[in-house]
Amino acid sequence: MAFTQPPLPFAKDALEPHGMKAETFDYHYGKHHAAYVTNLNNLTKDTELADKSLEDVIRMTFKDPAKMGVFNNAAQVWNHTFFWNCLSPTGGGAPTGELAAKIDAAFGSYEKFKEEFKNAAATQFGSGWAWLVEEAGTLKVVKTPNAENPLAHGQKALLTLDVWEHAYYIDFKNARPAFIDNFLEKLVNWDFVAQNLAA
Ligand code: MN3
């Protein structure tokens, strides 16, 4: 079975009042994400990986020099699908409930978490991702280069922000910190993060 691109979980213009244009999704979802899916299908066609789950392909190809192309495309398919779900037209602000308690326990406060997340997202040199993950029962902020993700490291992904230039150039030009602030203030889908934590 071929790998597929799930639909965006919101209309492509749904985030326009919140800083992200439909044009961003025309390119980022319609071109970049779609191309990773096409590449992954081409690279795995008629191989033993074609029938594996996306998650298994990621775990099986990480750090295999002969499978780097497969890993990069598989992880980018997964990362982007996960990222769209981290965005919501009714998102942003602080989380509540058990998730808020876990963030307080791990970071001291939501403000401290924000500081750490912003720092990770701003200082990932070049292309990559910032994440909130759960590892051994504790939450932590990590950053990964290029396509790498927490799955590859045996961590549970809870939240991510794409900090490749293509993620913010249409809306924020070179101002990555403004993109990060906008994400935290207006877009984070904490319901999705809480579901991931509970899963
Ligand atoms: Mn991207």
117 and 137 belong to one structural domain:
yes
Flag whether 12 is in a domain: no
pLDDT digits (tens, 9 = 90+) for 82-114: 999 999 999 999 999 999 999 999 999 999 999
CA of 65 to the centre of ligand 1 (A): 23
Mean pLDDT of the chain: 97
Alpha helices in 86-126 (DSSP H): 97-107, 110-123
Predicted local distance difference test score (pLDDT) of residue 35: 98
In this predicted structure, what is the pLDDT of residue 117? 98
Average pLDDT over residues 177-194: 98
Q: 187: CA distance to ligand 1 center in Å?
A: 16
Indicate whether 64 belongs to any domain. Answer: yes
Q: Residue 83 Cα, ligand 1 centroid: separation in angstroms?
A: 9
Q: Does residue 189 share a domain with residue 103?
A: yes
Structure confidence by residue, pLDDT tens digits, 114-138 = 999 999 999 999 999 999 999 999 9
Average pLDDT for 66-78: 98
Residue 156 pLDDT exceeds 70: yes
Query: Residue 34 sits in which domain range?
Result: 21-85
Residue 48 domain flag: yes
Q: What is the DSSP secondary structure assignment for residue 15, as one 8-state letter?
A: T
Q: Distance from the CA of 32 to the center of ligand 1, in angstroms? A: 7
User: Which pair of structure tokens corresponds to residue 38?
Assistant: 């096409």
In a domain, 10, yes or no: no
Domain co-membership, 112 together with 67 = no
- At 1 the pLDDT is 60
List the structure tokens of 63: 């750090």
From ligand 1's centre to the CA of 29, what distance in Å?
8
In this structure, the answer to whether residues 69 and 135 fall within a common structural domain is no
Residue 67 shares a structural domain with residue 135: no
Name which of 34, 60, 41, 55 is nearest 3 in CA terms: 41
Give yes or no: residues 30 and 52 share one domain.
yes
Q: Are residues 103 and 68 in the same domain?
A: no
Looking at the domain assignment, is residue 3 inside a domain? no
For the chain, the domain total comes to: 2
Residues 37 and 126 in one domain: no
47 and 113 fall within a common domain: no
- At 60, is the pLDDT very low, low, confident or very high (cuts 50, 70, 90)? very high
Q: Which two tokens stand for residue 197?
A: 């934590």
Angle 136-141-147 from CA coordinates, rounded to 5°: 100
74 belongs to a structural domain: yes
pLDDT for residue 183 is more than 90: yes
- On whether both 102 and 194 belong to a single domain, the answer is yes
pTM above 0.95, yes or no: yes
Mark whether 111 and 32 lie in a shared domain: no
CB contact at 8 A, 138 and 117: no
How far is ligand 1, taken at its centre, from the CA of residue 36, in Å? 10
Where among 85, 112, 128 does a domain terminate?
A: 85
pLDDT score of 83: 99
